[in-house]
């Protein structure tokens, strides 16, 4: 990214993504979607959550609002918006969806689609205490800085997986969340091609955590 302040208009103009389209027919099992919420401040920020420490899975991890597809969901975008409302009370009507990133597949078999949406800066967050410990903002320009993501190669059952790690203030961002942020950075980078290499977090590449 350039050294100057990143505006929301610049981010959107660089945002070459798959167009958001409704899914046709019933959704397969083990699909999920997350909302990547960008707040339309003069200097845009990214909204992230830290999962409640009491959760059975991935307690205390930094994450995007999101979860599994319900049978009644009409699309993956609907899933992401529904989950964001349930977790942090973001009204679906307040989200301007601008696109989706390529789905990533976890080693547990979930295909997760990141849905990128713009939020007005007037919204107030109300975390669901059963699911979310805290909500915090990260400057979008900082989130899109490729150099902040450090790779860690893990050998699991004879297969090598690459996990991305990063810190922001007291928050440790890793696993699928860090991988999605890094892919978003690659997607909008003005300094390198927008198409990631085959080894990046593209469809069909398995990440070890979700």
**pLDDT per residue as tens digits for the range 81-106:** 999 999 999 999 999 999 999 888 76
Q: Which domain holds residue 92?
A: 8-142
Q: Is residue 137 part of a domain?
A: yes
Alpha-carbon dihedral sign for residues 201, 113, 17, 46: negative
Q: Stretch 156-175: mean pLDDT, rounded?
A: 82
Structure pTM?
Answer: 0.80
Where does 14-158 show beta strands of DSSP type E? 31-39, 45-51, 62-63, 66-68, 96-100, 104-106, 111-119, 132-139, 150-156
Please give the tally of structural domains in the chain: 1
Alpha-carbon Rg for the chain, nearest whole angstrom, is: 16
Helices (H), 8-116: 8-13, 76-88
Other beta carbons less than 10 A from residue 131's beta carbon: 18
The answer to the question of residue 97 being in a domain is: yes
Residue pair 77/156 in contact by the 8 Å Cβ criterion:
no
Assess if residue 64 is contained within a domain. Answer: yes
Contact 30, 111 (CB under 8 A): yes
Q: Would the pLDDT of 74 be above 80?
A: yes
Domain for residue 160, yes or no? no
Q: Provide the mean pLDDT of the chain.
A: 79
Instruction: Considering only residues 154 and 29, tell me which one the structure prediction assigns the higher pLDDT.
Output: 154
pLDDT, residue 190, reads: 52
- 207 within a domain of the structure (yes/no): no
Determine the average pLDDT of the residues in 107-114.
79
As a whole number of angstroms, the distance between CA 117 and CA 90 comes to 11
Segment 24-61, tens digit of pLDDT: 555 556 889 999 999 999 999 999 998 765 555 655 57
Tokens of 43: 């200097």
Q: Return d(Cα 132, Cα 146) in angstroms, integer.
A: 27
Per-residue pLDDT band at 131 (split at 50, 70, 90)? confident
Question: Given the structure tokens 């990128």, which residue do they identify?
Answer: 116
Spatial distance between the Cα atoms of 184 and 194, rounded to a whole number of angstroms:
10
Q: Is residue 92 part of a domain?
A: yes
**What CATH code is carried by the domain that includes residue 22?**
3.90.79.10
């Amino acid at each position: 990214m350039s050294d100057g302040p990143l505006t929301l208009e610049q981010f959107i103009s660089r945002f070459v993504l798959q167009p958001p389209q409704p899914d046709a027919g019933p959704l397969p099992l083990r699909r999920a979607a997350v909302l990547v919420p960008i707040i339309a401040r003069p200097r845009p920020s990214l909204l992230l959550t830290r999962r409640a420490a009491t959760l059975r899975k991935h307690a205390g991890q930094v994450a995007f609002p999101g979860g599994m597809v319900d049978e009644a969901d009409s699309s993956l975008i609907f899933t992401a918006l529904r989950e964001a409302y349930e977790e942090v009370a973001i009204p679906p009507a307040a989200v301007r969806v601008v696109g989706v990133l390529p789905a990533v597949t976890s080693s547990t078999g979930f295909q997760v689609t990141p849905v990128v949406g713009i939020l007005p800066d007037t919204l107030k967050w109300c975390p669901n205490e059963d699911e979310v410990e805290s909500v915090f903002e990260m400057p979008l320009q900082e989130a899109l800085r490729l150099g902040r993501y450090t790779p860690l190669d893990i050998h699991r059952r004879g297969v090598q997986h690459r996990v991305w790690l990063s810190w922001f203030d007291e928050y440790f961002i890793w696993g699928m969340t860090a991988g999605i942020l890094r892919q978003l950075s690659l997607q909008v980078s003005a300094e390198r091609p927008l198409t990631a290499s085959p080894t990046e977090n593209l469809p069909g590449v398995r990440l070890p955590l979700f």
